[in-house]
Amino acid sequence: MASANLVVIMGNLTRDPELRYTPSGSAVATLQVAVNRRYKDKNSGQWVEAADFIPVTVWGNQAENCDKYLSKGRGVHIEGRISQSRWETPEGDTRSKLEVVARTVQFLPSGGSGQSGKEEQDNDIRSHEPVKEDTAGFDASGEEDEEIPF
């Protein structure tokens, strides 16, 4: 059976990126993206505005660019995959977490950033570099399969 794991989100950062480095020296940044949605409440019939807060992990040069150019409130368009982490607490409870592992991060224009259009355009170009992840069990080449299974 064919399967796919592709996520596309667009929203605003809820805080500044947090950059750190693995013991092997790979850069990794964590982002939190707020994605707005609108739905009709079945009881009242009124439209309701809500937001989902999605954790995102970015690797390599792209992580460093996110740390350098992004800040709280900035818009981003992210393409990547869903990843689930599982661990056991010292008390013996099992925990899990879903996050998006970014393949590309596009920096969206933001009002009042103080950047000129050219600076923002340069940032957008730099943000499209494919990510080479430092994670086990994943093809770190950043290359996609040439053959499509469907």
pLDDT tens-digit profile of 2-47? 999 999 999 999 999 999 999 999 999 999 999 999 999 999 999 9
Question: 138 pLDDT exceeds 70?
Answer: no
What pLDDT was estimated at residue 136? Answer: 41
Q: Which two tokens stand for residue 135?
A: 């994670």
Question: What CATH number is attached to the domain comprising 56?
Answer: 2.40.50.140
Residue at 132 is within a domain:
no
- For the entire predicted model, the pTM comes to 0.71
Residue at 35 is within a domain:
yes
pLDDT tens-digit profile of 53-86? 999 999 999 999 999 999 999 999 999 999 999 9
SS3 9: strand
What pLDDT was estimated at residue 109? Answer: 78
What pLDDT was estimated at residue 57? Answer: 97
Number of helices and strands in the chain (H, E)? 2, 6
Closest residue by Cα to residue 107 from 78, 87, 142: 78
Per-residue pLDDT, averaged over 114-120, amounts to: 42
What pLDDT was estimated at residue 147? Answer: 52
Question: 127 pLDDT exceeds 70?
Answer: no
What pLDDT was estimated at residue 121? Answer: 44
**At which residue do the structure tokens 């933001």 appear?**
110
Residue at 134 is within a domain:
no
Per-residue pLDDT, averaged over 88-102, amounts to: 95
Residue at 137 is within a domain:
no
Residue 9 neighbours by CB under 8 Å, 6+ apart: 33, 35, 54, 56, 77, 78, 100
What pLDDT was estimated at residue 69? Answer: 95
Residue at 141 is within a domain:
no
- Count CB atoms within 10 A of the CB of residue 10: 14
- Provide the number of structural domains found in the chain: 1
CA 110 to chain CA centroid, nearest Å: 18
Q: What's the domain range around 106?
A: 7-126
